[in-house]
Structure 1
């Protein structure tokens, strides 16, 4: 079993410069590879393997013009070449869109770290060749401080998979996969059904109800603050707009605009962290009950987003993230994860007698069965139907 861990780095100013330069090397190698593949395809040539391109890139580093590449880890460029070749292959297989050149302004700065060269301690991480000096005091530049202590296991026998360093616009992060022994314990408790909604995040068939965190005072306060900052940024851009000779309008980005945009980034990051943390708390609590199976409905989120009155509320609930967390945590704990068919009538079916109610409206918050007289909360009734669906399949 492979678990992914992501931790924030705390580099000093010199280390930040080196990290951005390393990301620039990865971007250069990726764009160079993509350009080679495009030119080769136009000339009628066959696909060039990443092995051949790596050899060619090694020769490129020996030229005077590109000698600066030797100051950085060889593995950064090698992996970037491989990534570009993989993206090109995926396009021709129909698995992804046509690969685009990486832009200094728009693309996310990131680079690969070799698994044999990376080193962890309880508080620091060592990256390869951030400095070319062999002096002891300069070698300290290779060691970057971690924001969390003892989070990543280290020592003999620990295997690291695909370590990547990335920048999200505010902070630098290290993400790495680590091999753990498989969990052999099999859950034996009763299975559950989960109905997702907007008023409440989740209603579980065992009676548990999880609130919508977006309705809390803290989130509402931060959302108001976000609106005010967005207006400020917009006004600043309008003040600094320049009219060109041909009638074209351009906007000048001043230092005050950059400060406001950084504040906005931090606020967005805080909102995202609060929502993700809440989803982790909810999904972990559900998994800790050790049900034999979990059933969720396959929601048409893209279709629901077309409703302009509900689109923002649906977006803030992060249904996909909830599914993703619940799915991988279920796999780790040997819990069967079932996604009910999209057209399964979980809300319109009576969980007690199985009769179908055609005229159920969205405004009806209670389900009243005409056949057996059962009265239940609409969402709780749906969660019971999902549980019954799982019992038939499992």
Structure 2
């Protein structure tokens, strides 16, 4: 099946609205999410049963031609088997939209595909394990791709298949105006429940003529370097190649601010009747007060997430609209929090609270929207350890040193500002022949590794994309027929 191609001059954008469903619609949403979870777990159990059966038959010396037939792992194959079994295993399947069951099987197909590619070394990132069964406490989500998906004329309702018109907390006029003008088209809708228990609807839309708004203020400096950090006053430090500090965005520290409240609620939940008894090591029915406390904990986390998201989205939008070139670091945010144990617990929490990886992701698509060029420095580019005045290195710079003092020229400068200046100069390949101090050239340094020199100007980082739904066999070995070796 050919994938949908975005027309020339159009771009993909998402509009997210908080829903205000009625009690009947709340039950319907929970039913659709439960149906997606049931389809995922049922087909996963069937896949595991077929794999175990084939392995047992091989151990008894059964030839490959007489083994139990393989079960395809692609979405069409899983959907075909589900349609054959749904009347028997789920006689209530007609109460929900078919998109609910398709959502569960699509997640399973993607998980199996990621597991196979990870085993074969064809998927970037950490190793991916075999898909697991979803519990009732898993995130509730349903995706609709067919049926009536539209914005109502009153701009206060979203219509979804089998759910009807659902009231929204906020106006949908921004999307409604584009649809009325013929410059937007809805592709799909994803309904999801957050940790606070509120349902949201994210509409995947293609829009035409997405460009920099006319009222956006343009900065006097077209090139800007962005250094990210976890300090309260320096989440984002923006500087120009000539050494000027353009902006400094303070970190919201929303998770840190919520720690006192979370500490009280989590201690209260530990004293209440939870779903697991540590003394008898048995599962039990959770009490109503424990559920109430867990809901309050979820609302606290949801509020911290909303505050962090608001600051990051506003800051990245401003950067993409005001500058022509934005240079950012390529940080291994997950690896920075992978090890350290108890001695690094505070830093790990601060890194998670800052959401450093989100900044580059947000700038990635916003720069495309507003016609800004995004330059991603190499992961090993020493922006913090390089002097912005003379280009000298200071390899023994520690995290505790917030002021960069060069051993060669003696300049003293804020650590984050120094890194932002070095990043900004990567956006200008023909930056001046002499440094501001006049002691040496600064052009063409590029993003080089600390231990191994790299070609000058190598400041772009390319990431490996992951193809989905590749034909695979039941053991994770690629073969045209999908048969195990």
Class of the TM-score when normalised by the shorter of the 2 chains = 0.7 to 0.9
Describe the SS at the equivalent of 2:413.
Answer: strand
For 1:134, the equivalent position in structure 2 comes to none
CA contact (8 A) 1:34 1:85 kept: no
Residue 47 of structure 2: aligned partner: 37
Given the alignment, which residue of 96, 101, 105 partners 1:81? Answer: 105
- Asked whether the equivalents of residues 188 and 205 of structure 2 are also in contact (C-alpha less than 8 Å), the reply is no
CA distance in 2, matches of 1:184, 1:6: 20
Larger helix proportion of the pair: 1
Tell me the residue number matched to 1:149: 171
Q: 1:24 to 1:181 in 2, by over 3 A?
A: same
Alpha-carbon distance in 2 for matches of 1:298, 1:51: 37
- Give the unaligned 5+ runs of structure 2: 1-10, 55-66, 430-456, 460-485
Q: How many residues get paired?
A: 373
- Residue in 2 aligned with 1:90? 114
What residue number does 1:386 align with? 423
The 3-state SS of whatever aligns with 1:3 is: strand
Structure 2 match to 1:198: 230
CA RMSD after TM alignment: 3.0
Closer/same/farther in 2, CA of residues 329 and 156 from structure 1, 3 Å limit: closer
Residue 25 (structure 1) aligned with residue 50 (structure 2): no
Structure 1 distance, partners of 2:90, 2:227, is: 58
Cα distance in 1 between the residues matched to 2:36 and 2:14:
22
Residues 301 and 87 of structure 1, relative CA distance in 2, 3 Å threshold? closer
Deviation at 1:250, TM superposition (A): 6.1
Confirm or deny: 8 A CA contact 1:241 1:252 kept in the other structure. no
Name the CA distance, whole Å, in 2 between partners of 1:98 and 1:73.
28
Contact kept? 1:242, 1:251, Cα under 8 Å: no
Change (3 A) 1:144 1:352: same
Q: Quick check: 1:107 aligned with 2:138? A: yes
Displacement of 1:193 in angstroms is 1.0
Q: Shift in Å at residue 115 of structure 1? A: 3.4
1:6 aligns with 2:16: yes
What is the match of residue 316 of structure 1? 353
Aligned residue for 2:380, secondary structure, equals coil
Q: Is the 8 A contact 2:150 2:158 kept in 1?
A: yes
Q: Distance in 1 between matches of 2:311 and 2:285?
A: 39
The equivalent position to 2:411 in structure 1, one of 374, 380, 389, is: 374
Q: What CA distance in whole angstroms lies between the structure 2 residues aligned with 1:282 and 1:163? A: 27
Q: 1:235 to 1:27 in 2, by over 3 A?
A: closer
Q: Does 1:180 align with 2:207?
A: yes
User: More deviation in 347-356 or 79-88?
Assistant: 79-88
Say yes or no: does 1:288 pair with 2:315: no
In 2, the alpha carbon distance for the partners of 1:52 and 1:198 equals 47
Give the whole-Å Cα distance in 1 for the aligned partners of 2:111 and 2:257.
42
Contact kept, 8 Å, 1:242 with 1:252, in 2: the verdict is no
Check if 1:160 corresponds to 2:186.
yes
Question: 1:256 and 1:32, CA in 2 relative to 1: closer, same or farther beyond 3 A?
Answer: closer
- Superimposed CA distance per residue, residues 138-195 of structure 1 (whole angstroms, 9 cap, x where no aligned partner): xxxx221111112533458542223221222411121121001254679995211111
Aligned counterparts, 1:62-77, within 5 A: 62=87, 66-77=90-101
Cα gap change, 1:146 to 1:52, in 2 (>3 Å): same
1:340 to 374, 377, 387: 377
In 2, distance between residues paired with 1:29 and 1:252?
25
Q: 1:27 to 1:156 in 2, by over 3 A?
A: farther
Residues 170-225 of structure 1 show CA distances to partners (whole Å, capped at 9, x for unaligned) of: 111211210012546799952111111222211111411111222xxx87653322
Alpha-carbon distance in 2 for matches of 1:37, 1:220: 43
- Of residues 304, 311, 315, the one that matches 1:278 is 311
- Structure 1 counterpart of 2:292: 259
2:331 is matched with which residue?
Answer: 299
In the alignment, the residues of structure 1 paired with residue 324 and residue 306 of structure 2 have an alpha-carbon distance, to the nearest angstrom, of 30
Contact 1:4/1:178, CA 8 A, preserved across alignment: yes
1:209 & 1:379 partners in 2: Cα distance?
Answer: 10
1:271–1:185 Cα change, 3 Å: closer
Taking the aligned partners of 1:21 and 1:376, their CA distance within structure 2 comes to 58
- How far residue 320 of structure 1 moved from its aligned partner, in angstroms, is 1.2
Unaligned runs of 5+ in 1: 131-141
How does the TM-score come out when normalised to structure 1? 0.83
Which of 222, 228, 237 is matched with 2:258 structurally? Answer: 222
Change (3 A) 1:387 1:172: same
TM-score (norm 2): 0.69
